[in-house]
Amino acid sequence: MRDKKENFFENVYEVVKLIPEGRVTSYGAIASYLGAKGSARMVGWALIASQPFTKIPAHRVVNRIGMLTGKQHFEGSNAMQERLEQEGVKVEKDQVVNFDKLFWDPSKELL
């Protein structure tokens, strides 16, 4: 079971590395792309575990309506928002502005 979880986490990391700067995706979109629809929380756990690996842009993953639900797992209370804003993503009240326009769907983008 442990190997399966580790492989899933690695697959999540590989997808997250492909999210372009200035774009965002959701936990559920990643789970669906990996054939694990309904496993959005598992994607979140993978991203929490990724924090020591700075090359994984976990800040680009938000919930299904564009809320920064994972922000408490970043060093500093505004770190997730600050990283997104450095890439040109506007955030207001912990929500990505123009989420639909900025949404990157791996199932469509990684054909």
Q: Which domains are assigned to the chain?
A: 4-101 (1.10.10.10)
Q: Are β-strands 61-62 and 25-26 bridged in parallel, bridged antiparallel, or unpaired?
A: parallel
Instruction: Give the Cα separation of 99 and 90 in Å (integer).
Output: 9
Cβ-based burial of 35 (10 A; exposed 0-12, middle 13-18, buried ≥19): exposed
pTM: 0.92
Position 48 scores a pLDDT of 92
Position 98 scores a pLDDT of 98
Position 80 scores a pLDDT of 94
Cβ-based burial of 38 (10 A; exposed 0-12, middle 13-18, buried ≥19): exposed
| Tens-digit pLDDT profile for residues 78-90 | 999 999 999 999 9
Instruction: Give the Cα separation of 7 and 23 in Å (integer).
Output: 25
Position 3 scores a pLDDT of 56
Residues of the chain with pLDDT under 70: 1-5, 53
Position 53 scores a pLDDT of 67
Position 56 scores a pLDDT of 94
**DSSP conformation class of 91:** E
